[in-house]
Amino acid sequence: MIIVNILIAIVFLICAFTVAYSFFYSVAGHFYKKKEFDNKDQYKKIAVFMPSYKEDEVILQTAKQALFQNYPSHRYDVVVIADSLRPETLIELKNLPIKLVVVNFEKSTKSKSLNEAFAQLKEDYDIAVILDADNVMKFDFLDKINSAFVSGCYAIQGHRSAKNTNTSFAILDAISEEVNNHIMRKGQVVIGFSSSVIGSGMAFSYLYLKQVMAEITAVGGFDKELELTLISDNHKITYLEDAIILDEKVQKSEVFANQRTRWISAQLIYLRKYWLKAIYSFFCGKFDYANKVTHYALVPKVLLIGFLFFMSIISYFLPKEIIIGFNFWLTITILYYLAFAMAIPKVFWNKNTSLALLSMPKTIIVMIVALFKIRGANKSFIHTPHSAQFENHSA
């Protein structure tokens, strides 16, 4: 019984840490205030990178939409990095007023694509913006990014929001995105830490990004390597809630599983790689870095939601000899659900969300299955396919 108590206590502490962390930053997120920046009539030169791996269905329309920004057209270039696109897609892209970088790798990664684009581009830029092939910038996105950089920002994560909520999985994915925006971005900057980055909708000093990316060879999770390097170099990552990028949410369980497999794999890899440095950084007073690595130790949301519910029920029937019993599990379950609820925007409190929640059991099962696919997931690029049916979403 002693061994059982110890094991349950360890599992409880791991869960309780994620709950406490999430609850604290969920509360903190409600104190976030938007920053107002002035461009001071300065318009920096911007390169908008759009890596596109087998994204023939969406890249033409998103590239076209990227050309319509409330920003001087001669002060930004849309750079499409075409990896494994069809010949007819390349022909159409060449007819657009964009810069086209065609690449072909034996094993494709986003970091390879970006590095090749840096190598081929000859113009000088001030800011590099990274988008996914399905991303659509709101018309004032670049203007807001520019104003922040003119005011002294060095690295920025924009507000990535759902382009579609047409299926239950898409709704849940959209909610998950906004919960992360609230806890991992708004809540973080309120406390004085850097915002987390997401992999797209990001902006950096062009020369700095070019230099750092040359050292990054990650198959998955290059954004984690990038944010750790930024913070290690004493750069803050700013979050701009009103700089909005529309992102397609996954609509099918198999796509959801593949995406989460890639994310969890990257999370565990970077935790294993940097946890010792994080401890050292904490004792050296580099709290921003230590906090960032702490994110990789948090239990994934969907898994924890299901696990806490399960333990709350099971613990009720456990023998009294088990020290961590029903009251403990019920308490952290309620706190976690409250943290989650506080982070969900009001727009999602509707009938469609209620119906989508009926898919939670399936979502949890998909996540559990994804755990068994983690091994080797970071050795090859796992592509998330996108569709074109939502590309006419107003930007």
Q: What pLDDT digit, counting tens, does each position of 193-240 carry?
A: 999 999 999 999 999 999 999 998 776 678 999 999 999 999 999 999
Rounded Cα–Cα distance for residues 274 and 309 (Å): 31
Task: Answer yes or no: do 299 and 183 share one domain.
Answer: no
- Find, among 261, 268, 298, 296, the residue nearest to 374 by Cα: 261
- 302 part of a folded domain: yes
Rounded Cα–Cα distance for residues 180 and 306 (Å): 18
Task: Answer yes or no: do 242 and 287 share one domain.
Answer: no
- 229 part of a folded domain: yes
SS3 assignment, position 2: helix
Its domain, for residue 214, covers 46-253
- 391 part of a folded domain: no
Task: Answer yes or no: do 21 and 54 share one domain.
Answer: no
- 380 part of a folded domain: no
**pTM for this entry:** 0.90
- What does the pLDDT read at residue 393? 42
| Among candidate residues 253, 286, 303, the one where a domain is terminated | 253
Task: Answer yes or no: do 143 and 188 share one domain.
Answer: yes
- What does the pLDDT read at residue 382? 53
Task: Answer yes or no: do 159 and 77 share one domain.
Answer: yes
- 346 part of a folded domain: yes
As beta bridge partners, residue 244 has 159
Give CA separation, 43 vs 47, 125, 146, 252, in Å: 13, 11, 7, 41
- Find, among 57, 89, 142, the residue nearest to 383 by Cα: 57
Q: How many CA within 13 A on the CB side of residue 368? A: 10
- 259 part of a folded domain: no
41-80 per-position pLDDT tens digit: 999 999 999 999 999 999 999 999 999 999 999 999 999 9
Q: Are 245 and 159 within 8 A, CB to CB?
A: yes
Task: Answer yes or no: do 139 and 102 share one domain.
Answer: yes
Task: Answer yes or no: do 194 and 313 share one domain.
Answer: no
Task: Answer yes or no: do 311 and 189 share one domain.
Answer: no
Task: Answer yes or no: do 301 and 366 share one domain.
Answer: yes
Pairing of strands 136-137, 237-247: antiparallel
Rounded Cα–Cα distance for residues 291 and 296 (Å): 9
Identify the burial level of 223 via C-beta atoms within 10 angstroms of its C-beta, where 0-12 means exposed, 13-18 middle and 19 or more buried. buried
Which contacts (CB < 8 Å, 24+ apart) does range 93-98 have?
93/59, 93/60, 93/63, 96/60, 96/63, 96/64, 96/67, 97/67, 98/63, 98/66, 98/67
Q: Are 183 and 343 within 8 A, CB to CB?
A: yes
Residue 126, domain CATH: 3.90.550.10
Task: Answer yes or no: do 158 and 96 share one domain.
Answer: yes
- What does the pLDDT read at residue 391? 41
Question: DSSP state, 176?
Answer: H
- Find, among 108, 124, 162, 144, the residue nearest to 47 by Cα: 124
Q: Enter the tokens of residue 83.
A: 């990896």
Banded pLDDT at 105 (limits 50, 70, 90): confident
Question: What value does the CA radius of gyration of the chain take, rounded to a whole number of Å?
Answer: 22
- 272 part of a folded domain: yes
274-319 per-position pLDDT tens digit: 999 999 999 999 999 999 999 999 999 989 999 999 999 999 998 8
Number of domains observed in the structure of the chain: 2
Pairing of strands 127-130, 202-205: antiparallel
- What does the pLDDT read at residue 259? 72
Rounded Cα–Cα distance for residues 238 and 210 (Å): 19
* pLDDT at residue 383 tops 70: no
| Among candidate residues 225, 253, 281, the one where a domain is terminated | 253
Task: Answer yes or no: do 245 and 352 share one domain.
Answer: no
- 389 part of a folded domain: no
Average pLDDT over residues 24-45: 95
Task: Answer yes or no: do 201 and 334 share one domain.
Answer: no
